[in-house]
Structure 1
């Protein structure tokens, strides 16, 4: 049975609203149930003031409840790069072969979690941080490796979500 639910990890502050809105709309149009997780206690704040209520705290995530996970980018995601709990969550989804997606600055979380080992894309300003993890930076809009999809920036989000939905349908 296909699990038609996706967990979105949002930074508490300064998430990329464009990425978030495009992904939410595409998932809802595809009849995928969306859940938002963050370490915010009430509302997550986007880079332009959009407020989003989270459904759960990061510490209440059980990967068995979701078909896949997406890490939204934005400048606020840099505060999560070294979050060992998020690393653990990413590894659990990856080990269950569920789709794992990350956009903009968020692929660094996956690299630091050890689930990206060869190459990925990310926001060009964060290239050096990605390379410090031993992962080769590729200046491509999208990189797909097994069940992991990384996207460079907001201009890649439309293609990213199509590929992610295809990966979700495979499970």
Structure 2
């Protein structure tokens, strides 16, 4: 397992109905390896996960400075669709990717990366119910639990949360 000591990771959660495991498991893996996690959201009120977890965001998504972070995770869940067409989310993802930083998303959140134009012609995975729309964006959908294409990492859903977290850690440590 990699060492992420001193690395700063931004986790973007939905203002409601993020997927608890897709937040908790990667966060634990990263923090156990020494990373510092900051949580961003479209609102500063406590967000409730689909399974009831409450998370208080640290910053607004609109205030997230890509230069201040070494990687980004867009957390999935039903609420992740709020960022699919969000210009701030797209700008953040593009800036992180342009800087060569791990730009990652799980479950329904990879559509945010696809809509930002980052996955066109790239391998990716997403929650199976969104696969048709994902492929329509020009993504080479693999259906694998975790897919990596360069510094872009996507995960398929809650069952893949741990493997996704490990892949993000390895990319941060590289």
The TM-score, its normalising length taken from structure 1, stands at 0.95
Q: Deviations over 1:103-157 (max 9, x none)?
A: 0001000011011112310000011221221212211111111101001111111
- The CA distance in 1 between the partners of 2:6 and 2:66, in whole Å, is 11
- The CA deviation at 1:3 is 5.3
- Distance of 2:85 and 2:75 partners within structure 1: 16
1:36 aligns with 2:39: yes
SS of structure 2 residue aligned to 1:14? coil
91-100 or 138-147, which moves further after superposition?
138-147
Name the SS of the counterpart of 1:77 in structure 2. Answer: helix
User: In structure 1, what is the equivalent of residue 149 of structure 2?
Assistant: 145
The answer to whether the Cα contact below 8 Å between 2:93 and 2:103 also exists between their aligned partners in 1 is: yes
1: CA distance between counterparts of 2:78 and 2:154? 16
Q: Give yes or no for the alignment of 1:47 onto 2:69.
A: no
**RCO (CA 8 Å, sep 6+): is it higher in 1 or 2?**
2
Conservation of the 8 A alpha-carbon contact between 1:70 and 1:100: yes
The alignment's C-alpha RMSD in Å is: 1.2
SS in 1 for 2:76: coil
CA distance in 1, matches of 2:45, 2:79: 16
> Aligned residue pairs: how many?
169
Aligned with residue 156 of structure 1, among 141, 147, 160: 160
1:12 aligns with 2:12: no
SS in 2 for 1:20: helix
Tell me the residue number matched to 1:168.
172
1:1-171 aligned at under 5 Å gives the runs 4-118=7-121, 119-170=123-174
Query: 4+ residue runs of structure 1 moved beyond 3 angstroms?
Result: none
- Structure 1 unaligned blocks of 5 or more: none
